[in-house]
Structure 1
Amino acid sequence: MSALNEYYAALERLKANKPTKLPKGSAINNDTVALEAGRKRGSIKKSRYAVLVEAIGQAANEAGQNVPSTAQQIEQARNKTKAVKSDYEQLKEDYEKLLEKCNSLLLENFELKQKHT
């Protein structure tokens, strides 16, 4: 059986929710089809299997798995990056405050030891 036939057979098994190598209910995408066909993740390339990639996209849409467009994926990645940067800045600010407090307590401790000596 050729690789293309194996991919289509794997796609049909995923559409029927009867995979043999993946858990039931697995998402339908290029990687899961490749894994179900016994191949490596990323082995389905749009440049090599354009019709298959289109069929996988249609199957995912029919299964109710909305596959975001490239522009939507980029926007989601940007939003996630902004959120992570914001969290990082907040953590950095909190760290600086705690470091300042710790240094202040160390100085106070040192001064109190000096008084009692």
Structure 2
Amino acid sequence: MSNALDEYRQALQRFEEGRPQIVPKGTRITNDAVALEAGRGKGSIKKSREMFAELIAEISAAAARQAKLGANDAGPAIKAAKHRAEQYRRLWEEALAREASLMMELLEVRREMARLTGEKVLPIRRRREA
């Protein structure tokens, strides 16, 4: 079974180096992810099996390191994404305000045109045909 443990450790090492071969890059380090990366089934690393105790400890330590790195790296990216989202929201609200303003101006012009010509002015929106 040491061959399988070696495969699990190699998979864990690939994870830590950021170059997994089977699972997608950026996947969180977990027992299941390491098992899949090693070409084994999900859930094959069991806490109840004593031979996996050391491997599970290594995986937990690697997961903690990954979480610590991820927390530090994600901060600026999240801040930038929030800034872009707020910028697009502001642009969207400005566009809505312009459209509402133009609709009101169009309504006023049509009312004035109807008053001056005495003719019925077509509504802004067409009625739905049945």
Give the C-alpha shift of residue 111 in structure 1. 1.0
Unpaired runs of 5+ residues, structure 1, are 16-23, 59-67
CA distance in 1 between partners of 2:3 and 2:60 (Å): 13
The answer (yes or no) to whether the contact 2:35–2:42 under 8 Å persists in 1 is: yes
After TM superposition, the score normalised by the length of structure 1 is 0.55
Deviations 1:35-83 (A, max 9, x none): 232124xx778xx95621527988xxxxxxxxx6443211122222212
The answer (yes or no) to whether the contact 2:9–2:55 under 8 Å persists in 1 is: no
Deviations 1:89-112 (A, max 9, x none): 101110111011111110111011
Larger Rg: 2
2:82 corresponds to which of 85, 105, 114:
85
Q: How many residues align?
A: 96
The answer (yes or no) to whether the contact 2:11–2:34 under 8 Å persists in 1 is: yes
Residue type matched to 1:39 in 2? K
Residue type matched to 1:108 in 2? E
Give the root-mean-square deviation of aligned CA atoms.
4.2
Q: Percent same amino acid at aligned positions? A: 24
Taking a change above 3 Å as real, the CA distance of residues 107 and 78 of structure 1, as seen in their structure-2 partners, is same
Unpaired runs of 5+ residues, structure 2, are 13-19, 115-130
